[in-house]
């Protein structure tokens, strides 16, 4: 069983990864985000393999809410980015069709 100090360090590492994920999102480092999220998930699983003590519970609950807030920011930002990219792709497709139609009329 990990010591109290080890558990605190594990949790701090998880929180740090969460902040890194947020920064990677801002920097649009999509591939790096995927790998880091996988690592964070493994660390979370390992952390919660040992039950949270009553002494840790309140702080952990507060920090989980903060983590969920960051996750939601990333998800909402990703959905917005996806929508923007989808609109751009649709516009490119429309332009391409217009160019082909113009060339067909010129023939």
Domain segments of the chain as ranges = 4-106
Dihedral pair phi/psi, residue 49, rounded to 5°: -65, -30
pTM above the 0.75 mark? no
Q: What is the pLDDT of residues 55-97, one digit of tens each?
A: 889 999 999 999 999 999 999 988 877 777 777 777 777 778 7
CATH number of 4-106: 1.20.58
Rounded CA-CA distance 104/4 in Å is 74
The owner of tokens 């660390």 is 43
Token pair recorded at residue 30: 């999509």
Per-residue confidence band for 9, with pLDDT thresholds at 50, 70 and 90? very high
Please answer whether residues 74 and 37 qualify as being in contact, where contact means their C-beta atoms are separated by less than 8 angstroms: no
Burial pattern 61-78, b for ≥16 Cβ within 10 A else e, equals: eebeeebeeeeeebeeee
């Amino acid at each position: 069983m990990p010591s109290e100090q080890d558990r605190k360090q594990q949790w701090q590492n998880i929180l740090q990864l969460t902040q890194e994920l947020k920064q990677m999102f801002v920097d649009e480092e999509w591939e790096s985000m995927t790998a880091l999220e996988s690592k964070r998930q493994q660390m979370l699983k390992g952390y919660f393999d040992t039950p949270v003590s009553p002494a840790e519970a309140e702080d952990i609950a507060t920090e989980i809410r903060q983590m969920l807030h960051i996750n939601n920011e990333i998800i909402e930002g990703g959905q917005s980015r996806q929508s923007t990219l989808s609109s751009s792709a649709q516009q490119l497709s429309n332009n391409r069709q217009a160019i082909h139609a113009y060339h067909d009329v010129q023939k």
